[in-house]
Structure 1
Amino acid sequence: IESLDQKEIELHQTQLRLIREQTSTFIRDLNALRQEVGGIKQKTVAIEHSLGLGGLGDSRTSMIERLSSVESFAAESAKMHDLHSRDLKAVQDVHSRAMDSLKEAHATIPERVEYIEKLLGDSADRHARELKALKDAHDKHIENLSDLHRAAVHHATLPERIDFLEQALGTSADKHWREIEALKAAHAKHDAAHGKYASELEALKAAHQRHATVSERLDYVEKLLGDSADKHAKEIQAVKEMHTKHSSDLASMKLHHASLPERMDYIEKAFGDSADKHNKALMALQTAHDKHAKGLADALDTHATMGERMRYVEKLLGDSADKHAKELKALKAAHEKHAGDTSRDLADLKALHSHHASIPERMDYLESLLGDSADKHSTELAQLRDAHGKHAQDLQSLKGI
């Protein structure tokens, strides 16, 4: 009886420990998945921030192909998130069914306590009946011994009668005394065991009153898992909405901003137009200067003295040599200022190029980031499936018990 009760208690403790370990493992897996979703959200925000900075690239075709590859990869990532959500729901369903079958297959704690009480009660009643029967047999034996003693008074001597009694009973006084002592020891052991069972039963009742029932714990675990699953679904939906917003923002940015080749064409055209305009101005100035020199030579040939001619030319042009020198100096200063502004703009553009990564570098970083996230997500999904397989094996072993 003691061994059966001990086995029942050990089996119950083993089942409770396995349920707690499996629940803890499942909660850890869900927390890891929650952290992964948070990391994906942070990476998505970082990607949106980096894409808003802009940059220069080498090829428009390569940039469009990489953007298409990133968009397709993001769509596949969304599909993987949906698949993982379905896998998580399937794991929760399997866990719920397993717990239902476990509750149906095993008796509850009140039923087991009632069984132990019934078992101890039946054993005590049986022991009382056996003890009463032993007392009745002992009284009957004493009565028979008294009758025999009264009958032996009329027979042979005392030693002969004792020998006859020992031979008739098949035992001696010492053997009978040893049996009585053994019976007393067994009775004392039985009383001690009965007291131990009563104290253990009281301790079990007290522990049962202090602790929640298995059904209450299972309700709490199911509620916890349900809340975590709902939160996980909301976070995945938020990631999908952020990805959709990111795609729309990227499309609108493509529509509102000119591409890199268009910007380069515009800059080259602007610099080209300025150079052509400057060359045309120089050619016009050279032509005017040649015309002026020819007119001066003709004037020297056809007009009066040099002083008169110079005064006539100055009067005709409405200017003097000093004014012409000042304007030429001002023109040179404007030309130098324009050249300095152009040099500073080119230096600023080169500095901007040196401070910011190019579009191919950013695209390589983005593809590497998404690839690492996908590999990590696949690895964690494999670990979650392994944990689920282990959980299913433990449930099968519990069913076998």
Structure 2
Amino acid sequence: MSERRTSLIGALLTTIGPISMAIYTPAMPELVKAFGTTDSAIKMSLSLYFAGFACAQLLSGPMSDAFGRRKATLAFLAIYIAGSLTAAFAPSVEWLLTGRLIQGIGASVGVTVSRAIVRDQFTGPEAARILNMMGIMLAIGPAAGPTLGGLALSLSGWQAIFYLMVGFGILSGLMVAFLMAETTVADRSRIHPVRLVSSYVTLVSDLRVLFCALVLGGCVGALYAQSTMLPFVLINRVGLTPAQFGLGMLMQSGFYFAGSITLRFLSPRLGERGSLRTGLTLVGIGGAMIALSVHFIEPSFLSIMGPVAVCSFGIAFVIPYITTAGLQPHPEIAGSAAALLGFGQMGSGFLGGIAAATIGDPLTAFGTVIPFMEFMAIFAYLGLQAARRRAG
């Protein structure tokens, strides 16, 4: 496929996971009332989505190696649509939790296949450029997600949010079926349990891959984890309406978009090392601002979202190059490598959400968990540098 087509299809597939989260978040306080349940139960619906998304990637990636990118993608998109319908017609909170778990399993294919089709066809700076372009387009979907979710909630109720997800799943399936070419040679032996385990042992034992997964876990995982806290902080504590919350989240996605655009112009000058160091410096500054603002300033929209914007701008510098670095060492199992990287970021987001639920107060959790994850990414990058030096 051409660079442009790969970027467009990759961006659409990558967007499935984040947009399913972004559209949903404005409805979380409303769902507490609709099902007569607790904040913790609705937060668990997001955590289960993370769990399904994270764990299923470890299977969806190898399945795309074994059966081909197209077949695996279409199969998992069918699962995603089934989960969306289950959630839309949920008669109880237990059915909602089930639907969200199934959604997460189906959406897991997006991150793995989008990265694998890039690695199948491109390497080095060209691959990083495509991943950056995917990041630019990726910012648009999640940016509009909370806004669409808030408006749908205001106009038609919470079920409309899941109808939007059904439509997105169908659209994605049609694009894959008619526009996506197969980019790998299917080898069904790769799904054999012994070979599957061997592939992951190879990846995890390579510190260059493992540390890349931890960097993504600290950066992208923080974005996912804070989605379990921000609705309750900004709506219940700061006093925004769901529609205002949806518009306010444009600050996060908008700065990520701005960072991606900026990187596109600066990357020839900065290169991989300069881009990663610039991005992680901003991530560290944003994490420190979050910790200080939560503990010393009365919460307001700017005190919460200002530091989030700084982190988001920096994360845009990190994702393309750290993803390329993680996929580079083992091209023969690119699907499994992409799955491991995705598992790192989603698994980290899931654990961050669990930690937030354990702490209880969303504001305190936000000021504690998110800075910890941001600094974890910085230390993981230092580990990556050491591993590269040892590898020569």
TM-score (norm 1): 0.23
TM-score (norm 2): 0.24
Between the two structures, name the one with larger relative contact order (CA 8 Å, sep ≥ 6).
Answer: 1
Q: Compare CA radii of gyration and give the structure with the larger one.
A: 1
